[in-house]
Each structure stands twice: as C-alpha cells, then as structure tokens.
A and B are shown apart, each in its own frame.
Chain A
Amino acid sequence: MRSPTTWRRPAMWHVFRSDDRLLLIIAGAVVGICSGVAAVVLNQALIAVLGWLRSYHTYGWSVLLPAAGAALSSLFLNKIMREGAGHGVPEVIYSVSRYGGLMRLRSSFSRLISSCLTIGSGGSAGPEAPIVMSGSAIGSNIARLLSLNDRQRVTLVGCGAAGAISAIFNAPISGVIFSMEVILGEWAASHLIPIAIAAVAGTEISYLLQGRQIPFSHQQFNIGFIEILACIGLAVLSALASIILTRTIRAVHHRADHIRWPAWLKAAGGGCAVGIIGLYLPMVLGEGYHAIRTMIEGHFAPGIGLVFIVCLAKIVATALTLGSGGSGGIFAPCLVIGSFVGLSYHRVLVYLWPAFDWVQEGCFVLLGMAGLISAMLQAPLTGIFLIVEITGGYEVILPLIIVSAISTSLCHYVEPASFYLKDLVDKGQLLRPGTDARVLADLEIRELLETDCISVHADMLLREFVDIVKQSRRNLFPVEDRRTGHFLGMIYMDDIRPYLFDPLMYDTVLVGQLMDTQVKTVAPDDDVLEVMERMDADHLFNMPVVANQRFIGMISKSTLLDQYRKELMVQTYHLNR
C-alpha cells in the first residue's frame, strides 16, 4: 500500500549503490560515448554543410550566407529552443559553480544545431564549445536520471566536457586536462578516473566512426636554443593577440546589447559583416582548420603583410560572429589566430635574420596556437597537451611550456580572469569548490539560526525581566510588542548591567526603556556572504534575524564559523581521501 518512490531514484537501487566509484566509472564511459557521438555528428554535419555551400562563396551575394546562418541560428536558439544565447562553456562553468552541474536537457542538442548553422554558413566560430556544452548537458542529465548527488553530477559534467574535447581532437589527455583545469577548476582524484575513462571513450568512438585521423599532420621539428629564446617574443605576441581578441569580442557584444534590434537581426548584421570580410579574405570564414593545416605543413603562400591582415580580420570576424549573437565557441578561432601569430612572428624573424637557420615555420605555428589557447583560457596545461597530442609528438615540449607559461602569465596580469570566466567573476558568480565564497554561498541563514533566545515584552517591568535573566543562558534578549508580536529591539546585558544591580529600579523601569532600537537585522533569505561582510564592517558578533517584522532567531559569528568549518570539510573531503 505504501508505494515506495525509489523507482524515481535509480541510484538508490542496490545494483548501483553497491559501489559508487564503479557507478561513476560506468556512467562516465556512457557520457564519454555520448559526447563522442555528439562531436562526430557536428563534425560530419559541418563537413557536409561547408562542402555544400563552398561553391556559392564565389558569388557576390554569398555575403548573405553567414547572415542567414547567424539569423537562423539565433531564431532557433531563442524562439524554438528558448535558450539564452552564449558561448556554451561559461554556462557549463556557471552550472558547476553554482548549481552542482545541473543543466537543461535541451542544452544537450540545441547548441549543436545552432552552431552548425552559424559555422556551416561561414561564421567565424568553433564547434568545440557547443560540443563541450552538449557533452556536459548529457552528463548532467544522465546524473539526474540516476539521481546522483551534486559531487557525482559535477564529475559527469566533467566527463562530458572531456569526452567532447577528446573526440574532436582525438586527444584524450587534453580532454582530461581541459575538463579539470577549465570546467571543474579543481584537481581531485575522485574526478580523475571517471573523466579519464570518458576521455578514452570519446576518443575511441571518434576513431570508430571517423577513422584514426589526427586533425593536424605530425611534423618533425629540430628546435635549438636560439629558437627557444625567441619563443619569449612569441609568448608576448600571443598574449597581446589574446587580449585584443577578448576585448574585441566583449566590445562588440556590449555594443550589440545596446542596439534595440531583435536578436536574430543583430546576429544577421554581424554575419553580414563577416560575409563581407570573407568575400576578400575567405580564409577567415568557418572554423579555419584548413588554413592551420597548410601553415603547419609550410605551404601557406601569402606574404607577411597579408598574414598580419588575415590575423586581424579573423579577430574582427570572430568578434562580429560571437559578439552579435552567433552560436559557437572561441576554441577554433584561437587556434587559427594563434597560428597566424606564430607564422607572422616566424616570418619577421626570418626577415630580420635571414642568415640564421630557423626551424620550419610550422613549429612556430604550433607554438602560437598553444600560446593563444593558454592565454585566452588561462589554462597553460590545456594549451601544451593539446598541441602535443594533435601533432602527435613531444619534440616541441620545451618551447611549448615557455610560450604557454609566459603568455598565460602576461594575459593574467592584464586580464585577471580568462575569457570564459570574466563575466562570471564580474558578477561574483564564480564559486570554485573549497573557496571562501563557495562555502558561504552553500550556507543559508535558516541553518545558522540560534533559537535559544528568550523574547521579552517592551511593557515588562525590570523585576520580571530579572527573573527571565536568571533562566537564560544568553546575554541578549529580543524585545517584542506584546500585542502584535513585532520585533522592537534588543537588550544587551552589557548595556543594562547598572540597572540590574539597583533594586530601586526594578519596579520603575520598563524593558522598553532599556532596549536598543537601532539594531541592524538580517532577513532569513539574505546571503550569508553579505551578512558576514556587514558583521565585519560593524564589528558585530550577533545579529537578530527578523522576518515579517517578527523575531525568528539570532545569527552569530561563532555558529557561522562552526558551520563554515563543517561545510568546508564536506567540500574538501575528496581531497583528503
């Protein structure tokens, strides 16, 4: 008769509950496979659409293609899927940061379709962020299906991101590192194994469906000491390009926000501008991997001036595409712009010191890509391992480390938050596990309430109050109106001690005459972080919590710190295992 509701919570089933780690590993593999399939589907769809539209890009009216693609993409996202637009990865980080990785089911496919429309029609954006978002949403919804807890859900979100990056670049290590460095923001052993399994699953599914193709061909580079020194200059240029790209995208985005056009029309406007640029410089259109391959192989014909112009044009085209509301990510544009930066720098070096036997330009193309990815995402390990894996060799590991480390540091100096995190940091919404803000955000006033205070009435004589003091273990007393129950103020023992020891006052003084009416109060739904700041600013150790004009309890720093410690232990438990 009492029907159990465990059917709604499969994670409660004994078969799953027997071993949590095994459950996560199996679920991680499933998420990795799903992410891999999503990556292959989008990749094949892009190949098909780009191939179909390639012949049309020779016509003058083709400037309208990116406009149409961006407009359709915007309409699809806003009218059909009713999603808020965005680049994808920040939304994933936000959900991990604030809501234990909860994501909508629709996010598992909406960005695949919208980014296919944007990029396939020629928009300058990358498919990686949409696939990461899809993979993460798949992970989140599988966790929901299994009724997993927040921590396990976050792991599966990381699995989705790792599976996506691994499948796109056939680079499982980069997938793992990207997931932990960028998405989760923590290196916990409990995450590592499921994420690694997901990365392998994503890579294998990509192998299975697309064959063992490495995105960029493997080249042998013999890099010497002078070239390693020269990498410092490349790191500076990469950081500069990254800052310009970040600021240009944000500037276009803010400008577009202030234009009172429908979202689809703004996206179309941006797409049209990209189409015009593409008419003269077609290599800025789409994801741009073909140009990277040519540069790595050393077959990129245009001279240094044109390379520089194309680099700037790609930055502008990317900013127009993404800033105006097109759907896609910055990963691929970063690789393209980085490769142009590396190529330009190499050609400048060759021009300045023609007698020196410089390494092939493909090497600097790779280093430029690593530098820009590292600086843009402020994730040096992701940049290093991505380039190592997609080129299939470790020959350039030393200069890769130098370029990635320096470009990340320089970029961090100018832009303290990465492109993905900047908005979240600005809004105070980046709450990484184990940090002060995250611990306080996870506490609620309701769970900190101390309800052992005895309320007194304003019309009470001091004699009656003294009797209450004898029973109380607290040295503060909320004062209420006897008739309405409304909170009127507080009595602090320290303030009234002289009256307590003067019996003459007992029958002449009322509690209402002794109370402090200028008390700062807290509401039950106030943020604990804000309350803590108010306590610090006013040097308070206790504050009354008042709701609907009624006293409901006290909040004290000692209870807060006690709960803080417990919460911190919960959040960092996995680090000590």
Chain B
Amino acid sequence: MHSQLLHIFRNTPLGRESFMQSLYFCKNVGATPVVHIPKHIKFLMYFDNDVVQVDLDGSYLTDPETAEAHALELITSYDLTPKFLTPKNFTASTLPDIPTNFDFMCCPRSVSDLSSKIGLGYIGPRVRRIVSSARFPVLITSPVFKPWKRLAVFFGGSANALNALKLGLRLARETGVPLDIFTQAENHSREDYEAIVQEHNLMEELERLQRNWTFFEEGTFESNLYVVPHDALVVLGACGHGLIRDLVFGSKMEQIQSTIPNNLLIVGPYYTAGL
C-alpha cells in the first residue's frame, strides 16, 4: 500500500538536514513526502482522541518566498514526486488544521522551542503529544543528515514494543536493509521474549529478516546502548508502560533518546501496526 510521510518544512540549514532525513527515509521506504510549508506560526492536528496545537518556532517562517523552491530542489534531487500540503480547514483564520491521516511524520526533537535547545535528552512537549496521540510512527531526526544502513528495533515485550517490532519487520522487508533486535533482559529470560513473538505469529518473519537478536543480560541499559550501530534507524515504542512506572523506574524511550544520536522512529500507543 502506498504510504505518505508528513514533513513540516523549515527553510533553514537545520530544517534542510531534517528534510533530507525525511527524503532519505521516503526514498528507502517507498513513501511519498507530503510537505507543508507553514504560512502561520501555529497549526492544529486533530487526532482520534486529542487535539494538539503546534506553536512553531519562528524559524519555520524564514524566507517564505524561497521555501517552496528550496524544498522542491531537495525533493527532485532524491528523484521523488513533490507533493505540497495546503490546509483546507481552519479552526480560526490564523489556525489551520493539518490532516493526521498519514503513515509517518517527521519531526525534529522540537518544533516549538529554539533550535539551540535541541540536543540529546530533549524532546519537545508538542512532539511528545504527537507521539502519544498519533496513529502513525514519528521519525525524530538527528540534528545533521545521517543516512542509515540498517534497522535496530528495541523490543522489551510491551504492546508498543510489539508494534515497534512489527514496524521494524515491515521496514526491513520493504527496504531490504538488515534488521537487528535489542532487548534489555529485565527479570525475564530470552525464552519469555521469544514466546511473546511466537504468540503473535512473528517468529517465522523474524527468523527470515533479522540478523541478530542481542540480549543485554548484564550492565546498565545506557552502557549497553554503545553496541547499537551508529548508522542504524532505531525503531522503538513509547508510552508503553504506566505513568507511575515511568516516573519511578524511568522510560526506555527516554534512556535511548538521551543516549544515542541516531534517527529514531517512535511508535506511540495509538499506532496500529500491520505486517
């Protein structure tokens, strides 16, 4: 099935890096980039059970007269078909509604805050809201263009991790790049995790597509993350556990995004994966 990736274009060098990540992703996955060049400083995204207002960082409106030409130049350099999104609906005259029926969305680590704040360990509140509300996975890009040559899926056994695994398998099948799986064993044996995969009829597909399944049975999660290839697109689930558990024990997603600078493809709780 044809898929589409939404990208909010920022007409700056930093925005260009993000956009190149989007285009690289689209090229590999066979998706069409749908580019929105903002005309207003804010927009709304209506999800199934939430409405998220994205107040953009002012740099998104830089040089609007050259934005489309810059975007077009990059799209054609990747031999992709350009598709620009013009909002049809407006909640208020300066508040367009951006559709949410895409297959992927690309976000830098923050869309509302100054780019100087963007760094490891920081994901802006709007991006978090989008991840936790969207049906699509969110591609959180590294600050500079970083082509990925393999996929790294973090699988911790939760429902969201299972969705991340399904997505990883799908991408591996569609792109043909090798797939590695990483699991931090937490009071469970390898067999327990394999049983979950088996239970969901993913084992056959997994054995066909995966290259390695690495179990971290010792060491802290952060230190174990060093073995994740630097040129991997990291696929992981977010918000899979309860708020209290996350507050007390910390979230794996937070640990990963604070430690590794790779591109992240984050699957939220409302994502419904299909093989």
Q: Judge whether A103 is part of the interface by a CB distance below 8 angstroms.
A: yes
A3 touches B242 (CB 8 A): yes
Given A8-B239, A550-B2, A3–B95 Cβ distance below 8 Å?
no
Q: In the complex, A99→B2 CA distance in Å?
A: 25
Given A547-B2, A548-B81, A552-B2, A5–B92 Cβ distance below 8 Å?
no
B241 touches A3 (CB 8 A): yes
Query: Which chain B positions have C-beta within 8 A of A3?
Result: 158-159, 240-242, 245
Give chain A's interface residue range (CB within 8 Å of chain B).
Answer: 35 or more
Q: Judge whether B94 is part of the interface by a CB distance below 8 angstroms.
A: yes
Q: Judge whether B160 is part of the interface by a CB distance below 8 angstroms.
A: yes
Query: Which chain B positions have C-beta within 8 A of A5?
Result: 159-160, 239-240, 269
Q: In the complex, A242→B47 CA distance in Å?
A: 38
B32 touches A91 (CB 8 A): no
Q: Which of B2, B49, B159 has the most CB of A within 10 A?
A: B49
Query: Which chain A positions have C-beta within 8 A of B90?
Result: 84, 427
Quick one: CB contact mask for B66-96 with A, threshold 8 Å, 1 for yes? 0000000000000001000000111111110
Query: Which chain A positions have C-beta within 8 A of B101?
Result: 444, 446, 525
Q: Judge whether A250 is part of the interface by a CB distance below 8 angstroms.
A: no
A248–chain B nearest beta-carbon distance, Å: 19
Q: Judge whether B188 is part of the interface by a CB distance below 8 angstroms.
A: yes
Q: Judge whether A457 is part of the interface by a CB distance below 8 angstroms.
A: no
A339–chain B nearest beta-carbon distance, Å: 31
Query: Which chain A positions have C-beta within 8 A of B47?
Result: 102
Quick one: CB contact mask for B38-55 with A, threshold 8 Å, 1 for yes? 000010101101110101
Q: Judge whether A524 is part of the interface by a CB distance below 8 angstroms.
A: yes
B220–chain A nearest beta-carbon distance, Å: 20
Quick one: CB contact mask for B251-269 with A, threshold 8 Å, 1 for yes? 0000000000000000001
Q: Which of B51, B89, B245 contacts A104 (CB 8 A)?
A: B51
Given A1-B192, A3-B158, A83–B242 Cβ distance below 8 Å?
no
B89 touches A98 (CB 8 A): yes
B50 touches A102 (CB 8 A): yes
A12–chain B nearest beta-carbon distance, Å: 12
Q: Judge whether A147 is part of the interface by a CB distance below 8 angstroms.
A: yes
Q: Which of B1, B42, B49 contacts A147 (CB 8 A)?
A: B49
Q: In the complex, A135→B99 CA distance in Å?
A: 26
B32 touches A547 (CB 8 A): yes
Q: In the complex, A5→B163 CA distance in Å?
A: 13
Query: Which chain A positions have C-beta within 8 A of B44?
Result: 104
Q: Judge whether A503 is part of the interface by a CB distance below 8 angstroms.
A: no
Interface size of B by CB at 8 A reads 40
B58–chain A nearest beta-carbon distance, Å: 13
Give the A-B contact count at a CB cut-off of 8 A: 85
Q: Which of A1, A99, A550 has the most CB of B within 10 A?
A: A1
Quick one: CB contact mask for A1-37 with B, threshold 8 Å, 1 for yes? 1111101100000000000000000000000000000
Q: Judge whether B196 is part of the interface by a CB distance below 8 angstroms.
A: yes
Q: In the complex, A106→B91 CA distance in Å?
A: 14
A2 touches B159 (CB 8 A): yes
Q: In the complex, A446→B3 CA distance in Å?
A: 11
Q: In the complex, which residues 517-558 of chain A have their Cβ closer than 8 Å to any Cβ of chain B? A: 524-525, 527, 547-550, 552
Q: Judge whether B143 is part of the interface by a CB distance below 8 angstroms.
A: no
Quick one: CB contact mask for B54-69 with A, threshold 8 Å, 1 for yes? 0100000000000000
Query: Which chain A positions have C-beta within 8 A of B239?
Result: 5, 8
A548 touches B2 (CB 8 A): yes
Q: In the complex, A98→B91 CA distance in Å?
A: 10
Given A98-B89, A102-B51, A144-B50, A548–B32 Cβ distance below 8 Å?
yes
Given A3-B245, A91-B92, A82–B1 Cβ distance below 8 Å?
no
Query: Which chain A positions have C-beta within 8 A of B32?
Result: 547-548
Query: Which chain B positions have C-beta within 8 A of A82?
Result: 42, 53, 55
Q: In the complex, A527→B99 CA distance in Å?
A: 12
B162 touches A2 (CB 8 A): yes
A102 touches B157 (CB 8 A): no
Given A3-B159, A8-B269, A525-B99, A95–B2 Cβ distance below 8 Å?
no
B114–chain A nearest beta-carbon distance, Å: 16
Q: Judge whether B243 is part of the interface by a CB distance below 8 angstroms.
A: yes
Q: In the complex, A103→B89 CA distance in Å?
A: 15
Q: In the complex, A93→B162 CA distance in Å?
A: 39
Q: Which of A102, A444, A524 contacts B46 (CB 8 A)?
A: A102
In the complex, residue of chain B having the shortest beta-carbon distance to the beta carbon of A103: B51
B81 touches A549 (CB 8 A): yes
A7-B242, A102-B46 known; 16 new pairs, CB 8 Å cut-off, are A1-B192, A2-B159, A2-B196, A3-B159, A3-B242, A4-B159, A82-B55, A83-B95, A86-B92, A94-B91, A95-B91, A99-B51, A257-B93, A444-B101, A524-B2, A525-B99
**Lowest 7 CB-CB distances: which A-B pairs, in order?**
A84-B92, A84-B95, A547-B2, A1-B157, A102-B51, A99-B46, A3-B241
**A-B contacts, 10 listed (Cβ < 8 Å):** A83-B95, A84-B92, A84-B95, A102-B46, A104-B51, A147-B49, A427-B89, A547-B2, A548-B32, A548-B81
